[in-house]
Amino acid sequence: MVRTFLVRGLLVGLLAGLVAGGFAFAFGEPRVDAAIALEEAAAQAEAPEPAAAEEAGHSHGDEAEVSRPAQKAGLFLATGLYGLAVGGVFALVFTGLRGRVGPRSDGLLALAAAGTAFVAVILVPFVKYPANPPAVGDPETINSRTVLYLVMILVGLAATAIAVATARRVTADPWARWVAAVIGFLVPVGGAWALLPTVDEVADGFPATLLWEFRLVSIGTQLVFWAAFGVLFGWASERAAQRTNGVPVSAAAPS
């Protein structure tokens, strides 16, 4: 049963990753191209040092190690592999939660867990450290920004655990449990948002509209991924359980 869930998580994750890649390709690539054009225009203006971009270990132009068309194909490779990895981990967490925490239905548990994962692992870091297009961000600070981003992911996961533990202590009506869960989640998350250092590396003159649209597409790509993954995994896990039990879905006895 664990194996079945894991394999389905990997496959469904790959599929959802490719769907999210399609969204990112259609709506994100034009913005990435626009940002790269601005970056190259700025590099031209800083001439006579055309090698400046390469010195920083990064370039987008024709002389880049991977060409732009290949990078656009790489987008699907990246989102597909991302989906595969995330889907596998999700499936194992799902298997552990099943029957212990959350809805007592595979389909609903998959949707609830995917929604929670999107909020805790994607939205919580995004609010503090939003996605940046090419040309935004100082390559010198990539390590510290990556660490801060990972810290926000861990904060989101810890806050989710705190929220669930808090809600379970409340035995009153369901509304009180929801309030306890939301407070248990928002207190650590809000604390981290307030206390962790702010990153502001948007260059003067970078178009605000382009930055906003890029960020919207970026969070949209993740939303598409998690929505597609939640629905597909819910469907796949329902079918897996149905087949293993040999019981039609609707005939399962309510407990």
Partner 1 sequence: MSGLTTPSIIPFPRLRPWLLAVPVLLLVAYLVLMDNGAVSQTGAFLHELMHDGRHLLGVPCH
d(CA 228, CA 12): 9
Nearer to partner 1, 42 or 187 (CB): 42
Q: Judged by CB under 8 A, which of 131, 170, 187, 196 binds partner 1? A: 131
The residues in 46-85 that bind partner 1, with binding defined as CB under 8 A, are 57-58, 64-66, 70-72, 74-79, 81-82, 84-85
Beta-carbon contacts of 146 under 8 Å, excluding residues fewer than 6 positions away, are none
Nearer to partner 1, 48 or 251 (CB): 251
The residues in 90-119 that bind partner 1, with binding defined as CB under 8 A, are 92, 95-96, 98-100, 103-109
Work out the number of other CB atoms within 10 angstroms of the CB of residue 13: 27
Q: Judged by CB under 8 A, which of 18, 170, 219, 231 binds partner 1? A: 219
Amino acid at position 152, single letter:
M
- The answer to whether 250 contacts partner 1 (rule: CB under 8 A) is yes
The residues in 17-46 that bind partner 1, with binding defined as CB under 8 A, are 21, 24, 28-29, 32
User: CB 169 → partner 1: shortest distance, Å?
Assistant: 18
The residues in 155-174 that bind partner 1, with binding defined as CB under 8 A, are none
Site stretch for partner 1 (CB under 8 A), options 161-169, 177-185, 186-194, 212-220: 212-220
d(CA 198, CA 145): 10
Nearer to partner 1, 142 or 182 (CB): 142
- Nearest Cα neighbor of 123 from 229, 226, 29, 211 is 226
Answer whether 210's CB lies under 8 Å from 195's CB.
Answer: no
- Give Cα separations from 253 to 219, 236, 245 (angstroms): 40, 20, 12
User: CB 81 → partner 1: shortest distance, Å?
Assistant: 5
Answer whether 75's CB lies under 8 Å from 29's CB.
Answer: yes
